[in-house]
Amino acid sequence: MATPEIQRHRDEDHVTAATASPRPGYATAYRRWFGVAASQPAVRAFGRAIWWLAPAAVLTVLGWNALAMQPGPGLGPSWAAGLQMAVDQHLNFGTQAIWTYGPLGFLTVPGFWEPTLGELGFLYAVLLRLCITVAVYRRLRQTLGRIAAFLVCLVAVSVGFAMGMAGACELVLLGLVPAWILEIRPAGHRATVLAAAFGAFAGVEMLVKVSVGFTAVVMIAILAVALPGRRRDHALAAAAAFVVTLLVLWAAADQAFSALPHYLLASLQVTAGYKQAMGTTDPALAWQYSAALLGLAAGVWAALRVSRDQSARRRYGLLAVWCMFWFGTFSEGFIRHDPPHADVFFGALLLGSFCFRWERRDRGVMVAAAATLTVLALAVQSVGIGADLTPLPNLRAFVSNAAGALKPSRESAIEQAGRLSIEANEPIESSSLALLKGRTVAAYPYEIAQIWAYGLKWDPFPVLQSYSAYTTALDSDDATFLTQRQAPQRIILGTQPAIDNRIGSFDEGLMMRAMLCRYTVLQVTATYAVLGRIANRCTAPARLVKSVRADWGVQVPVPAPPRGHWIVYVRINGTAAAGLERLVSLFYKPPERFIQLNSGFLNRLVTGTADDGLLLDASAGVDYPAPFNLAQAAKRIAVQQSLSPVIAGPEITYSFYEQPVAALPRAAGRSTSDGFGG
């Protein structure tokens, strides 16, 4: 018999069992588990990421601007082909391939020249655009709320991505990311970790596009100074991450470490020479300078206003971030100031302006600023908002690009269509293919796409396209390449026009003479000539004929070639920027120079190679037949500072040289068994 106390406990247990809820089902158990899991930091972080990524992904697709995935003929597609072909053939950048882009530069040109690289380029474009959209949407949502932020962000990314942003997305992130890091006010080890992460990003960009990489390095310095904590720790962490990332990716790209110094030095040469050789100014676009300066001033005011409650260290750090971002995008859009580059600047300026975090009380100011920059961007394009804000066509463009990158059958169809397009626009005769097949081939001046389309064995000049050999060092790299045993056995010499009204053979004086001395004509057609390699026919040294000093714009007689087989070339000194011009060129661009032959038209002169020896005249039987002749039959020469006839300034020195050259072998029309080219 149970005691009263035991009986009481039995009664309580009976009542509890009778009133208890049934055994929980799967849904209840799941909710309980999810509630516990959601309390974990990692799960909460993942949930927040999805919360931001979902609408940003939708916005990225609705604002998508179609990527040109199909190969094609021409100057622009050819350098894109060259980048992918150089990576596919494991050429060392800096020694065997020199360009404004590095061994990861193919990521910015996602065409199907090499299928796997094209796929990676598409995924890289998606990642960059998604990151930009996340950053812009986050900023807008903090100020405007979800719905308004979604609508404003849709307009911003639609307009921004429509303005040729394929090569400038990295620049936008270089404005958005450092500003975000400064905004969250990281402290201690967190600040050091973020500095290191940004250093790693800069290391990636140094191998994508060198000019962007240099901008990223400056941003590292700004962050190291502006972040709270020990500046030395931030700088060391960022520098270490930059170097490690650079070296790891350099090795991953199958690049020789011995070529890395050459890559950095050659990239500096390309960057330094670009301003003078490629800088242009379009008078019809002069109003855009005022708009750009207005954008700079507005950004400075915004940086000071949104950071008015922060420490001076962060405040001036944000100001420096904006100024550096503006300068980087300004250089991208205004050094070569034409509609495509202006589009890049104003599109990047619109998206980069969202680096500022506005308080809700200032949302009217933010919306007004965004609207103003949107109007400017549309004015630059000369279109209405309906031309850029096209969600459904953008969605179809994204699906088409994705299908091309992810479906092998679609990818093969795009590649084949590109090949047929190149062959139709730049056909090579069957007799010429017989001269080229089985031999190493280079293209001059720039039609690399032609070599890809016909499946020829590519052996490129170090500077992938001739017009980019802006300096004597780059010209020397190409000339030295032609004197080596590994030089291409054939060269396709095209009739493509030189850019910016330049004289094509004046771009690379050293290389032109090396080609004339070591290659003969095997076949001539209306659009190209096939050159074959021969023994050097310029063994005798050149001799100075005379040196003349003359004012700008004054015509100077050119010595005629002596009897026999000679070439005459000139080395021009005194054309480079000097004094105040040099100071201006550090931050902007030097004035253009022009050369005039025989009282004819004014042609753009590349001052960086003017002292390399420009071919002026040649005796009969020495030069290639027209229209492939390298010498210009010049009888008089003059150099001008601008399009006006005469401008006061230092005198120009013309040093004329003559060199004996053996006559060209009679090789035109011979077959591949004639022994030319080895």
Q: Would the pLDDT of 164 be above 90?
A: no
- Using alpha carbons only, what angle is made at residue 592 by residues 586 and 594, rounded to the nearest 5 degrees? 150
Separation of alpha carbons 318 and 312, rounded Å: 10
| Pair type for strands 490-494 and 440-444 | parallel
| Pair type for strands 457-458 and 602-605 | unpaired
pLDDT band at 504 (very low <50, low <70, confident <90, very high): very high
- How buried is residue 338: exposed, middle or buried, by Cβ count under 10 Å (0-12/13-18/19+)? middle
Separation of alpha carbons 366 and 28, rounded Å: 46
Using DSSP, state whether 648 is helix, strand or coil.
coil
Could you report the per-residue pLDDT of 305-314, keeping only the tens digit for each? 998 888 888 8
pLDDT band at 72 (very low <50, low <70, confident <90, very high): very high
**In contact, 250 and 207? CB cutoff 8 Å:** yes
Could you report the per-residue pLDDT of 201-244, keeping only the tens digit for each? 999 999 999 889 999 999 999 999 998 888 899 999 999 999 99
Stretch (H or E) spanning 593: strand 593-597
pLDDT of 16 reads 45
pLDDT of 46 reads 65
List the chain domain ranges: 426-536+666-674, 543-660
Query: For the whole model, what pTM was predicted?
Result: 0.86
Q: Which amino acid is at 78?
A: S
**In contact, 247 and 259? CB cutoff 8 Å:** no
Separation of alpha carbons 527 and 531, rounded Å: 13
Share of the chain above pLDDT 90, in %: 71
At residue 566, φ and ψ (nearest 5 deg) are -140, 155
Q: Would the pLDDT of 447 be above 80?
A: yes
Q: Average per-residue pLDDT in the chain?
A: 88
**CA separation, residue 121 to residues 78, 142, 350 (Å):** 16, 32, 24
DSSP of 535-547:
--S--SPPEEEEE
pLDDT band at 502 (very low <50, low <70, confident <90, very high): very high
**In contact, 369 and 192? CB cutoff 8 Å:** no
- Among 56-65, 631-640, 652-661, 668-677, the minimum mean pLDDT is found in 668-677
Residue located via tokens 């490129």: 460
